[in-house]
Structure 1
Amino acid sequence: MVMFTCHLCGLSDDRFPYACNLCDLSFHKDCAESTPEINYSCHPKHILKRLTHVSNVDINCAKHPPPFTLVHPKAHEHSLTLMPQRSFVCNSCGMDDDPNPYVCLSCNFMIHKNCIDMPRIIKINRHDHRIYYNNFLDTRDWKCGVCQKEMSWMFGAYSCSKCPDLAIHLRCATRFGIWDGIELEGISDKILEVKSYE
């Protein structure tokens, strides 16, 4: 058998893959459906054909592919459409690590599927006040208050209404151990005094 790298999970294997020979894409049998051919929303150009006769393959990603369009006002005011296999930088987190963005063509807005449900107001263990998600920052040089790396003002970030020099990457702020996992949107800070998450 020949080794291949699964395009969905990124792991190498020597099991029989699903493949699109035109695009040179291969998928684990566990990352595809048990039928001989599948239409997958992240690769809409061509049908994926199984290269073996192995049956009874179980796969969650093929059974529950991402929706082609979605409406999520918390992430963006317009309908978002899946545009697979595009290199892009996410407008919400500023990262380019997933080639399957949801886009709003009228706004030139692109977002990772995982960034769509980002919390709007949170409390982290590195700051005394609540921090709020903003679509972009003021035009100046910024450093993340968690990782200390430079930040681009053009992408989304968390900031503090009381501390104008604080900005934090979306992924740094919502990392395990930094954020307690509680969304504070809709909870008044006058009603509930939230101490730093420890």
Structure 2
Amino acid sequence: MELQHFSHSDHPLVFNKDERMGLPCYGCREPIFGPSYSCMKCNELKFYHHKLCAELPLGLHHPLHPAHPLILIDESTGYLQKENSKCIVCKEFCWEYSYCCYRCDFNIHIKCGVLELEAEFHDHPLTPICKLITFTCDLCGKEDKGVPNLCSSCGFWIHNKCAHFPEKIKVARHRHLLHLTHSSLELHESDSRFCQLCVQKVETRFGLYYCSRCDFVAHLDCAMVKENREDTDLQELKDEGLEHDEIIGTFEVKKINVGEDGTQQFIEIAHFSHNHDLKFTHEVLSNEKCDGCVQAILSPFYSCVNCSFFLHESCAKLPKRKRHPLHRHSLTLFPTEPGDFFFMQCMSSKMQWLRLSV
């Protein structure tokens, strides 16, 4: 697929469905991970674009300037060099694509003017807040003054730069893919973790790159450094079975309750160990045991309304696969007969060797 672009009239831009070199996009200056366009005949990095940036409309009507249509321009060409022609939102002159009204000296960067943004690692669209405010990014954990993006469904605030982090990445010092996570089921706020690329402490409340097979943790920025990244075909690694479902657990979320502080609670799930959906409850029970670890059931927990099946919240959220220091292979979680317990088995040696305990 080819595209004739206004910024490069000499040759058409060629589509690449999964660019992973992290080259800067000429349109928005953010690194490219995913679908992109580039010129295959010119050996210049300026002609690399995100798919969305390359396919921007040449003109549009924007709610921040309803009086006149805006025209897409290349800010680096030198047309906008006046103080009053800086971006109306971020007040900066960033040498990137922007939408301009020639009559009113109105200018807005494409990043500041976007009405909806999609991130690889987040399920919902992100909406830029077109106002300079002080906020803490929920992915990198840094406080900043700027134009954040908000997921209204999750109460999730994020930098524009952070929204472009890839969901998966390969670093040279680790043989498996690392997955970006900001709500890992295996990592908790109280855990003391160290980045295995820079050997500095990792704040697990925020985003990080993680390999569940090896319990390998890396800072977002450390994994993104060009010297640490390994440019490889991620599809080939995916075919080896390194699927994301190895770190998201053993259940499907049916219903979610979002609290006033933005925290999420899975109030109904479908768990791999049971035929019926399980509901979250704080009910106090006596003489009942968890069907995962066979320990006394304590509030809160998940239960089946159709039969006497109970799971601690922590047992329900166990990962499907996990590394253990006493064995060289990853272990897979299995349920036994109803009323018994979970156990972990090595699929390489086909030996059941670890009964679940909490």
Q: When the two structures are superposed, what TM-score results if normalisation uses the length of structure 1? A: 0.60
> Matched residues in 2 for 1:89 and 1:185: separation?
34
- Measured after TM superposition, the shift of residue 79 of structure 1 is 2.8
SS at match of 2:150: strand
Contact 1:121 1:185 (C-alpha < 8 Å) held by counterparts: no
Deviates more, 1:126-135 or 1:94-103: 94-103
Residue 142 of structure 1: which of 193, 205, 212 is its match?
193
Percent same amino acid among aligned pairs? Answer: 26
> Does residue 177 of the first structure (1) align with residue 236 of the second (2)?
no
> Matched residues in 2 for 1:58 and 1:90: separation?
21
Residue identity opposite 2:181 in structure 1: N
Q: Which residue of structure 2 lines up, in the alignment, with residue 86 of structure 1? A: 133
SS at match of 2:209: strand
Contact 1:131 1:158 (C-alpha < 8 Å) held by counterparts: yes
Residue 151 of structure 1: which of 198, 202, 214 is its match?
202
Q: Deviations over 1:79-130 (max 9, x none)?
A: 3222342222322233335622111234221112122222222211121222
Q: Which residue of structure 1 lines up, in the alignment, with residue 115 of structure 2? A: 69
Q: Which residue of structure 1 lines up, in the alignment, with residue 180 of structure 2? A: 133
What does 1:20-169 align with in structure 2 at a 5 Å threshold?
Answer: 33-34=80-81, 37-38=84-85, 40-42=88-90, 60=96, 62-63=98-99, 64-66=109-111, 67-72=113-118, 74-83=120-129, 84-96=131-143, 99-137=146-184, 138-139=187-188, 140-164=191-215, 166-169=216-219
Deviates more, 1:126-135 or 1:88-97: 88-97
Deviates more, 1:130-139 or 1:62-71: 62-71
> Matched residues in 1 for 2:201 and 2:172: separation?
21
SS at match of 1:87: strand
Seen in structure 2, the aligned counterparts of structure 1 residues 121 and 103 have a Cα distance that, compared at 3 Å, is same
Moved runs in structure 1, 4+ residues, more than 4 A? 29-32, 34-39
Seen in structure 2, the aligned counterparts of structure 1 residues 101 and 32 have a Cα distance that, compared at 3 Å, is farther
> Matched residues in 1 for 2:94 and 2:141: separation?
34
- Measured after TM superposition, the shift of residue 134 of structure 1 is 1.1
State the structure with more CA Rg: 2
- Measured after TM superposition, the shift of residue 69 of structure 1 is 2.2
Aligned residues: 151
Contact 1:92 1:111 (C-alpha < 8 Å) held by counterparts: yes
- Measured after TM superposition, the shift of residue 182 of structure 1 is 4.6
**Larger relative contact order (CA 8 Å, sep ≥ 6):** 1
Q: Which residue of structure 2 lines up, in the alignment, with residue 12 of structure 1? A: none
Two-structure CA RMSD over aligned residues (Å): 3.5
**Bigger strand fraction:** 2
Q: When the two structures are superposed, what TM-score results if normalisation uses the length of structure 2? A: 0.36
Contact 1:122 1:182 (C-alpha < 8 Å) held by counterparts: no
Structure 1, unpaired ranges of 5+:
1-28, 49-56, 193-198
Structure 2, unpaired ranges of 5+:
1-74, 100-108, 243-358
Contact 1:120 1:185 (C-alpha < 8 Å) held by counterparts: no
